[in-house]
Amino acid sequence: MRALIQRVSAARVAVDDRLTGEIGPGLLILICAMQGDTEAQADALAAKIAKLRIFKDEAGKMNRALLDTGGAALVVSQFTLAADTTRGNRPGFSTAAPPEEGRRLYEYFSGALRGLGIAVQNGEFGADMAVSLTNDGPVTIWMDM
């Protein structure tokens, strides 16, 4: 699985002007299931993200994790994270999981985060979404699992 995480002070996602998810401080997680990904990888990625120490402590150092801060996660499906731009000018997406498998793993990943005690909001899989955020830091991290 592939994720792009951003530390945010707030984030929201809407579909056709209908709000589907909104959080205050926490993480915006753009997630893509790749071909061959498994539930074990989704579990490992959720655990890694929940424990990733990228929030400031009292001394201003990145020493606290999402689990430590009580922050929330906004999880948004983003198959374009699988883009292959090595040839030509049009990205290829053949390494992304097929849509039905991508949806299943996207929902599974969100459930895995919830199971760790994180409040999770979601976008809408496969929809044309409007995502807005206030990046905190900025802190943006690419992860593959």
| 142 in any annotated domain | no
Assess if residue 105 is contained within a domain.
Answer: yes
Domain that holds residue 36: 2-135
The domain that contains 117 carries what CATH number?
A: 3.50.80.10
In a domain, 141, yes or no: no
Contact 27, 71 (CB under 8 A): yes
Residue 31 lies in a domain: yes
Residue 140 within any structural domain of the chain = no
The answer to whether the CB of 40 falls within 8 A of the CB of 26 is no
Give the span between the Cα atoms of 55 and 82, in whole angstroms.
27
Averaged over 64-71, what is the pLDDT? Answer: 97
- Domain total of the chain: 1
Q: Which residues are catalytic?
A: 78-80
- Alpha helix (H) residue ranges in 52-143: 66-69, 99-115
- The per-residue pLDDT for 111 is 98
Query: Does residue 144 lie within any of the structural domains?
Result: no
pLDDT over 90 for what percent of the chain? Answer: 99
- The answer to whether position 83 is within a domain reads yes
Tell whether 14 is covered by a domain. Answer: yes
- Name the burial class of residue 135, with classes exposed (0-12), middle (13-18) and buried (19+) by CB atoms within 10 angstroms of its CB: middle
pLDDT, tens digit, for every residue of 11-31? 999 999 999 999 999 999 999
